[in-house]
Amino acid sequence: MKINLLSAALLVFGASLLLSSCFKRDNADWTFTQDNAVSSELFQDVYKQVDETAQSDGNLKSCANVTLSDTLGNFPNTVTIDYDSACLGSDDRLRSGSIQAVFTGRWRDAGTTVTIDLQNYSVNDYAIEADVTVTNNGRNTAGNMSYSVEVDNGQIIDPDGNTISWEGTTTYEWTEGESTTFFSDGLAGIRDDVYSITGNSSGVNRNGSAYTSEITEPLIRRLNCKWITAGEIELTPNNGDPRVINFGNGDCDAAVTFSFNGISFNFLLP
C-alpha cells in the first residue's frame, strides 16, 4: 500500500512540476533521490563487509567463506569473501558473488590501503560493480581514526533491470568503538563501532540524467544496524533544483525521506 500511495503522489507531484512556468526537466524526476540513497547505502555496505572481515579475521561471516592469499599478518595479502550463489547474512541481506580485497597492511595501521574488487556481487538482487579503494588516514585532529573511500566506475542494476551509475569520495571517521575488538569482546567488540561519514558523489540515475550530491549532515553508520541511521544529502540534478535526502534521526530502520519544494515523500532502502 505504501508503494502504491507513493507512486500516485509522485505522479501528481511530477505533473504539477511539468505545468510550472519555471520548469526544469529534471524537477519532474523523483528517481534521483531514491537512486542516490540506494547507491550510498549499498556502497557503504561494501565497506562494512570488508571492515567486519578485517577486524575479525572473517569469524563474523556465518555463511561466507573467507580465504587469504598469504599467512595472516603477511602483506600484501588478498582477502576473498566468497558468498557463493546465496548467503543470508546475520543482517538478513542475501548476498552472492565475492569481494576481493588486497591489503597492504593491517586495517588499523595508518597508511594501509585496501583495493576492493567486486566479482559477480549482488545484495538483495541489486547487482553491484565498482573499483573501491580504502585508505587509512591515521588520526584526525579530534584524535579519531579515519578512512578515505574512493568509489570509481560504480554501477548498480536494480531488481527491475534499471542501471544506476555512481561515484563517490567519502571520509569515514571512527567515532565510537575503536577501543574494543572482536578478540577482546567478541561480536560486541565489532557491533559497537560507529562511523561518521562526510563527502560527495556524482552519478547518473535510471533515466539517464546526471547529478551531483554532497553530504550536508554527516551520515551515521552503526555496525549493529544494516542501514544508514542518520544524516542528510543534498542532491542537485544537472537540469534541476536541489533536493534533500534525510536518513532519519538515529533509529535503525530502512526509512528515508525525500524533500523538494516543500513536499516530502518516504521510501524504504533495500
Per-residue confidence of the chain (270 residues) as pLDDT tens digits?
Answer: 434 444 444 444 444 444 443 558 888 898 999 999 999 999 999 999 999 999 887 777 778 999 999 998 899 999 999 999 999 988 899 999 999 999 999 999 999 999 999 999 999 999 999 999 999 999 999 999 999 999 999 999 999 999 999 999 999 999 999 999 888 888 888 889 999 999 999 999 999 999 999 999 999 999 999 999 999 999 999 999 999 999 999 999 999 999 998 889 999 999
> What pLDDT shows up at residue 239?
93
> What pLDDT shows up at residue 23?
59
Three-state secondary structure readout of the chain: CHHHHHHHHHHHHHHHHHCCCCCCHHHHCCHHHHHHHHHHHHHHHHHHHHHHHHHHCCCCCCCCEEEECCCCCCCCEEEEEEEEEEEECCCCCEEEEEEEEEECCCCCCCCCEEEEEEEEEEECCEEEEEEEEEEEEEECCCCCEEEEEEEEEEEEECCCCCEEEEEEEEEEEEEECCCCCHHHHCCHHHHCCEEEEEEEEEEECCCCCEEEEEEEEEEEEECCCCCEEEEEEEEEECCCCCEEEEEEECCCCCEEEEEECCEEEEEECC
> What pLDDT shows up at residue 70?
94
> What pLDDT shows up at residue 266?
93
Q: Is the pTM of this model over 0.85?
A: yes
